[in-house]
Amino acid sequence: MAKNNFLGLRQKSSGILASLLCILIGLAIGLVALFIINFQHAWGDGFIRIIQGGFYDFPYGVGKTLTSAAPLIMTGLSVAFAFKTGLFNIGAAGQYTLGAFGALYCALMLGLPWYLCLLAATLFGAVWGAIPGIFKAYLNINEVITSIMFNWIGLYLVNEIVYARGTGAMYDAHNTRTWKLATNAPQALIPSCGMSELFHTNNTTIAIFLAIVVAIVVWVVLDKTTFGYELKAVGLNKNAAKYAGINEKKNIILSMTIAGALAGFGAGLFYLSGGGEWNPLNSTSLPAMGFNGIATALLAGSHPIGTIFSSLFISHITVGGSFLPTKYFPTEIADLISGIIIYLCAFSMLFRGRIEKLLLRDQDKTNVNAEPAKPKKEGV
């Protein structure tokens, strides 16, 4: 990113405007869908509730938003970090799965305190992120393909270990989930520090603050350190970076490892807050948190601080969607809106270009500092 010069500022504002435009179009299409499904109730019982989000049921709903925003910020950061270094981490879901396993294993089987469980989640995620990095660095295999394969391998692996044909020690056959942390491993719960009482929920913890701190750290590392500069340089042009004396193989692996660690940390935040239990019988879908991370990262233009806001927004409308009266509307309207938003974000560079032209017609500088371009060609 350019420093405090005019170009950088202009780019930032156009980026934010492009994201806002994506959001507006997404909401508009969602509104149309609501009107088609149930014309009478579309506005008051539909659209307004989605916009209100958690505030519809204050303070409980806001607590819910914060609980789900914390892991979402982390998976968003995971994807954003990889984007900044020229990689597409579609594997956040798999890294999140492994992170969840690490956290739950340490909590339920080893009885470790929450900070060690969180560390374990981070490490497990990091390992699962490192694998596509190694495949990419040494065998030149596109990280997207490897990540997709390892998403599913991870899901089946974790399910196998947790379930173990119904005999797994972490598995509560009665609820068909892993044991609840609150009853079986209260030492592993992230401290609430009064947040749960404040929001009348039982799973709002300081996780959201941890996530924000990590986001700031990621921003500092990427934008203010030599290490971050090297990672980004490899993403922008692998060969130029190599020529400049940067070890590009090491940096690719490091980028993916860090991205994996961030996603694993997010899983730790969710499961150690008591946000839910793992269901090892679900072998048909990966955790949505991983894919929603792609949405928040894109919406934030891969900016770590922006990821905080985009994650809060996505959680906000998702919680809003869950408050829709189910007799009129399916709650998946919120997923529809976020899906449309990412689809639009995929070509938001185009919006960005248009907005820039509108903003400053007299400036004819080209946008040289755009997102790191995808590397030109890899063997898949």
Partner 1 sequence: MLLLIKYTLLYGIVLMLVALGGMFSEHSGVINIALEGIMVIGGLAGVLVVAALPAGTSPAILVALAILVAAAAGMVYALLLAFASIHLKADQTVGGTALNMLATAIAIILAKNFNGSTSAKISYTNKAFLFNIGGLELSVFIPLGLVLLIVSYVVMYKTRFGLRLRACGEHPQAANSVGISVYTMRYCGVLISGLLGGIGGLAYVIPSVQTWNFEVGVAGTGFLALAVMIFGQWKPINIFGAAMFFAVFKSLANIADSTILAQLGWSNNIYNMMPFIASMVILAFTSKNSMAPKAEGIPYDKSSR
What is the DSSP code (8-state) at residue 141? B
With contacts defined by CB under 8 A, name the span among 57-65, 99-107, 253-261, 342-350 that binds partner 1: 342-350
Among 67, 95, 97, 146, binds partner 1 (CB under 8 A): 146
How far apart CA 63 and CA 355 sit, in angstroms, is 36
Q: How many residues interact with partner 1 (rule CB under 8 A)? A: 56
Left if phi > 0, otherwise alpha if psi is -120 to 50, otherwise beta: which for 111?
Answer: left
- Interacting positions 30-89 with partner 1 (CB under 8 A): 33, 37, 88
How far apart CA 228 and CA 278 sit, in angstroms, is 34
Among 336, 354, 360, 367, binds partner 1 (CB under 8 A): 336
- Tell me the β-bridge partners of 171: 178
Among 20, 110, 139, 370, binds partner 1 (CB under 8 A): 139
Among 115, 217, 332, 366, binds partner 1 (CB under 8 A): 332
Among 48, 224, 347, 365, binds partner 1 (CB under 8 A): 347
Left if phi > 0, otherwise alpha if psi is -120 to 50, otherwise beta: which for 58?
Answer: beta
Measured from the CB atom, the residue of 183 and 284 that comes closer to partner 1 is 284
Are 341 and 111 in contact by the 8 Å Cβ rule? The answer is no
What is the DSSP code (8-state) at residue 42? I
356 binds partner 1 (CB under 8 A): no
How far apart CA 97 and CA 189 sit, in angstroms, is 18
Is beta strand 177-178 parallel, antiparallel or unpaired with respect to 171-172?
Answer: antiparallel
With contacts defined by CB under 8 A, name the span among 1-9, 70-78, 189-197, 345-353 that binds partner 1: 345-353
How far apart CA 3 and CA 103 sit, in angstroms, is 39
With contacts defined by CB under 8 A, name the span among 174-182, 215-223, 293-301, 361-369 that binds partner 1: 293-301
Tell me the C-alpha to C-alpha distance, in Å, between residue 314 and each of 31, 51, 238, 289, 299. 16, 11, 34, 11, 10
Asked whether the CA dihedral 107, 110, 111, 117 is positive or negative, the reply is negative
Among 298, 300, 314, 317, binds partner 1 (CB under 8 A): 298
Residue with tokens 């938001």: 348
C-beta of 347: minimal distance to partner 1 in Å? 4
Give me the amino acid identity at 81. Answer: F
Among 14, 19, 97, 159, binds partner 1 (CB under 8 A): 159
25 binds partner 1 (CB under 8 A): no
342 binds partner 1 (CB under 8 A): yes
Q: How many helices (H) and strands (E) does the chain have?
A: 16, 2
C-beta of 291: minimal distance to partner 1 in Å? 6
How far apart CA 116 and CA 310 sit, in angstroms, is 29
Query: Three-state DSSP class for 177?
Result: strand
182 binds partner 1 (CB under 8 A): no
Establish how many alpha carbons lie within 13 A of residue 9's alpha carbon, considering only the half-sphere containing its beta carbon: 5
With contacts defined by CB under 8 A, name the span among 179-187, 212-220, 262-270, 328-336 that binds partner 1: 328-336
Are 14 and 356 in contact by the 8 Å Cβ rule? The answer is yes
C-beta of 345: minimal distance to partner 1 in Å? 7
- Interacting positions 227-286 with partner 1 (CB under 8 A): 283-286
How far apart CA 308 and CA 218 sit, in angstroms, is 12
With contacts defined by CB under 8 A, name the span among 41-49, 198-206, 237-245, 322-330 that binds partner 1: 322-330
C-beta of 217: minimal distance to partner 1 in Å? 26
Measured from the CB atom, the residue of 114 and 124 that comes closer to partner 1 is 124
Among 330, 357, 365, 366, binds partner 1 (CB under 8 A): 330
Among 106, 170, 345, 355, binds partner 1 (CB under 8 A): 345
**Chain contacts with partner 1 (rule: CB under 8 A):** 33, 37, 88, 90, 135, 139-142, 144-146, 148-153, 156-157, 159-160, 163-165, 283-286, 291-292, 294-295, 298, 326-327, 330, 332-333, 335-336, 338-340, 342-343, 345-347, 349-350, 374, 376-377, 379-380
